[in-house]
Amino acid sequence: MEKIKVKAPATVANVGAGFDILGFALEQPYDELELSLVNGRGKAAFLSLEGYGKGKLPENEKNLCAIAVQKVMDKLNITGKDIEIKLKKGLPVSSGLGSSSASIVGALYGANKLLGGKLGETELLQIGIDCEAVYSGAHADNVAPCLLGGFVLVRSYEPLEIIKLGGVNGLHVSVCHPDFELETKKARAVIPKDVPLKNVIKNQSLLTSLIYGIAKNDAALVARSANDYVVEPYRASLIPGFDDVKKAALNAGAGSCSISGAGPAVFAFTLSKKEAETVSKAMACAFSKNGLGSRRYVSGIAKQGVHAI
């Protein structure tokens, strides 16, 4: 194999009360990458970028795609070949939709396939987490669902242990991304070290219900369990109009609504595509009333993660 085209999905992390440990893959939007194996000196060569991030993201060896590919090549001691990378970025940058993870995982997957598929899932996950740490901290709840698909639970970071929970039939997702960027580091900085015990108890109950619902393929239980009383109250202030957006989503029929990842994107669960469309429109309208344009997406849970196309 000398060339591969790859599709890497957007992801929602920090799902409800699952801060840093629970994420899922979306059917849309996604990044597309083309990687080519050519004669060379064991280097990753970033050739081009289209779509989101043009003019903002580096188009050289400092691009996360190139960093990821280089780590794979170094791990496998590749010396006589280069891998050239072209990225078509369908995910907005700093959106709360796992934009960096999609680029990283797409690059890791493609490079590994070109080089014989010698690295397993755990090795790819660890490299992906290391790459994420370059800009936003070493977290797995975007990288893991992007690689594996479906809902994914991070049981442990040291040692790394990931549990694949799979998809949930009949569950639909409304996502609304307001037209501004929110850096993960800024979003983490507002979270206090101490939070009220009563809120921790609420979150424990919600997270248990959420994971139980996923395991039992109970879309209705999952849909009403993605709430958060520990992190969301502090991050909400970073997203203009968030309270209005959440209220609009719930009034339009969403079972629950919360911040996607570090934000500013907001997601909501529904039980039909029609409801999801209605909810996404209501969310966009609420952002508009707060002076923000937005992009909206309606998606199912992507049971397949990154893959060749």
- Domain membership flag for residue 213: yes
- Domain membership flag for residue 189: yes
The whole-number average pLDDT for the span 237-263 is 97
pLDDT value at residue 97:
96
Q: Are residues 141 and 281 in the same domain?
A: no
Tell me, what CATH number does 277's domain have?
A: 3.30.70.890
Range of the domain at 284: 172-300
pLDDT value at residue 184:
86
pLDDT value at residue 137:
67
Q: What percent of the chain has pLDDT over 70?
A: 99
- Domain membership flag for residue 125: yes
Indicate the pairing of strand 44-51 with strand 81-89: parallel
Lowest mean pLDDT among 52-61, 143-152, 206-215, 275-284: 52-61
Which of these, 120, 123, 125, 119, lies nearest to 138 by C-alpha position? 125
List, for residues 24-37, the tens digit of each pLDDT value.
999 999 999 999 99
Residue 184 known to be catalytic = yes
Catalytically annotated residue among 34, 132, 232, 275: 132
Residue 256, C-beta contacts closer than 8 angstroms, at least 6 positions apart: 16, 223, 224, 225, 226, 227, 250, 268, 269
Please tell me the pTM assigned to this model. Answer: 0.95
Q: How confident is the model at residue 215 (pLDDT cuts 50, 70, 90)?
A: very high
Out of 119, 149, 166, pick the residue that ends a domain: 166
Q: Are residues 58 and 207 in the same domain?
A: no
Counting beta carbons within 10 angstroms of the beta carbon of residue 88, is it exposed (0 to 12), middle (13 to 18) or buried (19 or more)? middle
Catalytically annotated residue among 11, 184, 270, 278: 184
Counting beta carbons within 10 angstroms of the beta carbon of residue 171, is it exposed (0 to 12), middle (13 to 18) or buried (19 or more)? buried
264 preceded by a cis bond (ω within 30 of 0): yes
Q: Are residues 31 and 159 in the same domain?
A: yes
Residue 278 known to be catalytic = no
Which of these, 175, 174, 171, 173, lies nearest to 271 by C-alpha position? 171
Q: How confident is the model at residue 204 (pLDDT cuts 50, 70, 90)?
A: very high
List, for residues 17-68, the tens digit of each pLDDT value.
999 999 999 999 999 999 999 999 999 999 999 999 999 999 999 999 999 9
The count of structural domains within the chain is 2
pLDDT at 9 over 70: yes
Q: How many CB atoms lie within 10 A of CB 118?
A: 11
pLDDT value at residue 28:
94
pLDDT at 302 over 70: yes
DSSP conformation class of 180: S
- Residue 223, strand partner residues: none
If you average pLDDT over every residue of the chain, what do you get?
A: 96
Indicate the pairing of strand 266-270 with strand 160-166: unpaired
The whole-number average pLDDT for the span 94-100 is 94
pLDDT value at residue 292:
97
